[in-house]
Structure 1
Amino acid sequence: MDPRLQQAIEHDDVDELHSFIVEEPKLLDRACKGPFPNTPLHVVAAAGKTQVAMEMAILKRSFTRKLNPEGYSPMHLALQHEHYSTVRALMTLDPKLIRVRGRCGITPLHYVAGKEGDMEVELLAEFLATCNSSINDLTSRCETAVHVAVKNHNLQAFKVLLGWLMRVYRTNILGWKDQDGNTVLHIAASEEQLEIFKLLIGCANVNVNAKNFQDKTALEIFQDPSGDQDLAKRLYRRERQARFFTPTLSLSQFFSTKPTVYEKCKMFLGIRNESARNIILIMSTLIATASYQAALTPPGGYWQDNFTNTPANSTVVSANTSGIAIGKPHHAGDIIMHGSQLSMFTIINSMVFWASMSTIWATAITLLPDSALVLWSIASFGIAFLTTIEAEFPKSQQAGEYLVAIFYDLLMTTAMGLPLYVRVTYVGVVKRIDATGRHPGNFLGTKDWK
């Protein structure tokens, strides 16, 4: 390396670096020839000279991702020499540097996941918060950061990873397998890491029946070093329950079967064109709002007074210009429309409301579990609509009220309860699948978590 460059690095002096570059514009390029160069940024990062390192990274962004002959990037070298301020500085410049694969496919995230220490654990949390997608990266042995933490008996790092995975709904990564077919649970069992094993068993998305490539489950591998018989019994009960309700299917066996009812509905109802889906949802929402407003303010409105003194022998009922009877006994707040007209209006309006809400429901159910709150809101809205209908019917027409309520209940149960039941059944089938889970997203390829 040019002595002038070494001097600027040693002094960590940005101004000095630029003065030398003015004298020799190709000063940085001259030191990084070859396919795996040991660039000046590698030297600076290993030395922990943060200011010069950042300046070089800004001037030569390509340096940040280059691997030296040993297979390490500048961030790898900064981590190895515990220059964490340099690591954080590089991370602020480009968060994707956390995903750079070095020797054996190890990323900076894998490195800190395997190293014990309070500072390393804090840096691990910062990596996860800064670059969510880094959790998808695998080593050359198909290991996730969670695999690395467990194999290195790093309980602190494992707890950070587990807590973060729960918060971002990515606990499916706990089921990913390494090149030997071992999930994190298999490794915890074989390494006799009791505390990690208990934490994993308590996690709802961990499949205790997943088998490695030696055809063994984690429960078959596990031997409790503390002799806790109660734990063994609890695990045994969980295993029996899991085997009874969710016998394991291989991915090929699942794909060999016919699509489930939910998959057929999703293929039929799923709208991949986002613009079309937005238009459908907007129109359905407007129709639902209009029909709900019609239920609140029906044609003719409500009586504003009380009238109970109809002559005993009178059979004549006067009418207003709209043809609505005004001589019948009534109470203030009762709906003016009556008889078959009221029943017909309520049934048709309810069907329109039901159709629009069902459209929203059908669209949202294909986006589960992200749309769970939408589905509950729709159900609550439907209950409010039914309550409005029941409240507006006059007491003299209770029979019609009951018929409309039963009719609407059947529609809502069919439109909302049945799809939800089909979805729950489908989830039960999916949980039976024992696959490697090495790729982000779900196994059908409809999601890509970036």
Structure 2
Amino acid sequence: MERKLYEAAMAGSVNTLLELRQQDPLIVERPTVNCLSETPLHVAALLGHEDFAKEILRQKPRIAEELDSRKSSALHIASQKGYVGIVKALLQVIPDKCSDTDVDGRNPLHLAAMRGHIDVLEELARAKPDAASARLIWGETILHLCVKHNQLEALKFLLENMGDSELLNAKDDYGMTILHLAVADKQIEAIKLLTTSTAIEVNAVTANGFTAWDILAQSKRDTKDWDIGELLRRAGAISAQDLQLPANELAVIQTNSVTSHENNQKHEGKKDLKGTPWNLDDWLEKKRNAAMVVASVISTMGFQAAVDPPQSPQLAASSFVVWNTIGFLASLSLILLLIIDLPINRILFAWILAWIMSLAIVAMAITYIVSIALIGDPNSSYSNNTTSAVLVWMAAVGIVSALVHISRLMVMMIKRMRKSIRRLSHIQAQDGRDYEPPIASVL
């Protein structure tokens, strides 16, 4: 009879349950009397047989309190599996059992959060709100479980509905907050949520003395590191070593971090001529692609000219070879730099590429002039006019480029001077002394 009862539970057959109940009114009592590990309700909760679970609860409500060998009730199992109908039926019978823990110290809310079952979380939190604050055996909270198991939606739900700053910044037994875990696992969306929408302590220190910034710096290199670093800097994250600095120096570091991100936001707010939001990374990537194409074309031209040079007097031919070689090597250097992608400041890298590209273009222009002189009549108006046109073009481009670079350099220097003055002013204000920038009126 007990075997038939379990077969009915596995099949979810309510009719078989009713027939067995008519044959033996105590059939539902026997599994618990015989100390079997799992009750038919456990089986129904595991397989999602909602009608069977409701019927057996109607016949014997207290069966919902029975535990298996891992101290799990049917509510634990249904919550972990995400069967919200069975969860609702169980909560009508045992609403206070949401805080009961299994052998691993996890209650039904913990299990639902680990699997990301938002609808189940909502029902459980409504029945027993305090259960969400329970800690696990290693001091972990339900928020730690959400991050560990990468359940972003469950994390959002709990943060929106709990509003507990103490739980938000809680540490496990290793001193890890949920931000530490998110950074260690490179979960960009979770980091963005925590640093922009919550009051998370971005510079909390672990038991080993590490901040979230330190964890990122020590982690294995990844393509996500730049975005994570930007989010952390925007939130004012610093290293544990910087936390030991005096208050005035610490304030300067945090101010610089915020200022850097404000500048990035200004760039991100720009739009191109088509109205598309301007992004520095996208702009640099487009420039890199264009530079690669141009460098490939120049290197091809240089190689072709080297294997089939114009026939000419020795002196002119040597000039042709020299300038053609300069342009060829410059283009190859440009291609090499674009491939290896030096780990330096993006703007500095773009400037280096621009100067090498300029050298390659100038060398190709001079090679063209020499070629005209070699293959044409030096006294003809065609050769003279062509040479003059190229020289005028080079001079005009050189003057414009010089003016642009000089103006950019001056703007950069002025901005740096202003930042230095603001930093000094901030430090003096922290020390309680008045400070009057000597050239503030000029700038």
Structure with the greater alpha carbon radius of gyration? 2
TM-score range, shorter chain: 0.3 to 0.5
The alignment's TM-score, normalised by the length of structure 2, stands at: 0.46
